[in-house]
Chains A and B, each alone.
Chain A
Amino acid sequence: MNHPSEPDDDLTSALQRLPREIEPPEHVRTNLRANFRPSHHGNLWLFAVAASLVAVAFAAGRVTAPRVAVAPAEGQKFAFLLYGGPTGGGDERAAEYGAWAVEARREGRPVSGERLADAAWLAGAAMADPAPVRGFFIVRARDWAEALELARRHPHARDGTVVVRPIDTP
């Protein structure tokens, strides 16, 4: 539906006078830079995977962010340990994980997370070759049921395994 009777010149002029550019908060630049990995064409995706998990978790209320997380009044912290799953996936995969973290924050569950590199060194007593943990998230949920429900929705649960373990300290 058009409204031809209304001249838009003054309105469009007023809109055009608004500045296109707005200076973004410094923490975005700082965070992107802090998580930047020297890259070459072939492995630029590594940056996206690693930084997305970090940065979106940051966006989701991580303590390093100058943001106030929306914490539930009560609750417990859980570790989501990510095993298996695809070895690639690139930035689309990372974006899915990021979207999950953002959604969790919207629901009032603070989330932080990291992707782990493949390298691992053992210290202490020898043990059978464990399955490598690919990454982890720390989530605050009201109880087990809520934590499990959140884990089931995690994109990694689609083709990998998410182990949910309560964190002992409050």
Chain B
Amino acid sequence: MPPTDSELLDAFARDGSDRSFLALYDRHAAAMYGLAYRMMGGRDADASDVLQEAWLRAIPRLPDFRRESSLRTWLCGFIVNCCRERFRGPLFEEIPDELSVSSAGSTDLRVLGTIDLERALASLPPGYRAVVILHDIHGYTHAEIGGVLGIDPGTSKSQLSRGRHALRRRLRPVT
């Protein structure tokens, strides 16, 4: 049976070795990178920077992690913070009139290609993109989103609605 996060944390607390660190990294880096990649609009160089910076910030604080939430959620909080620092302008700016990015020729999202969806997601303004990604892909609650983005849970809810609406418009086929 693979070790639990708690056991990995205990091992890291005991020896502080690179081996213990890599065990934690290997378990959580892909989820953290997935979040960073989409939040940075699919720019892999930026996502790599974010992942690296997030770990550099998280490592010294690992002994302080209280284990009340999941370790992954806690680590992803560093990703969100690092991404936020890279966003320019207000988190929720007015969504501009958008062009469709879909090539599917259909509004049926059941047959929509992953590439179209990823492209449409990447084209959203950063704040809306963040809320949609955190809620709909990573399963955060509005309270959790409020916590990591520093906004009211009600704001998270309304911006999710706006974000989805903008996403849907981007997925309409060009007529």
Contacts and interface: CB of A to CB of B under 8 A. Distances in A.
A23 B114 CA distance: 17
A21 B30 contact: yes
B128 interface: no
Contacts of A39: 16
B161 A47 contact: no
A28 B112 contact: no
Interface string B151-174: 000000010011011011001000
A10 interface: yes
A87 interface: no
Contacts of A86: none
What is the interface residue range for chain A against chain B?
Answer: 35 or more
Interface string B56-92: 1101111100000000000000000000010000000
A50 to B, nearest CB: 10
A169 interface: no
Contact of A29 (B22, B34, B49, B164): B22
A20 B55 contact: no
Contact of B168 (A11, A18, A22, A67): A11
Interface of A: 1-3, 6, 8, 10-25, 27-29, 31-33, 36, 38-41, 44-45, 47-48, 51-52, 55-56, 58-59, 67, 90-91, 94-95, 98-99, 102
6 contacts: A3-B164, A33-B22, A41-B13, A56-B49, A59-B49, A98-B53
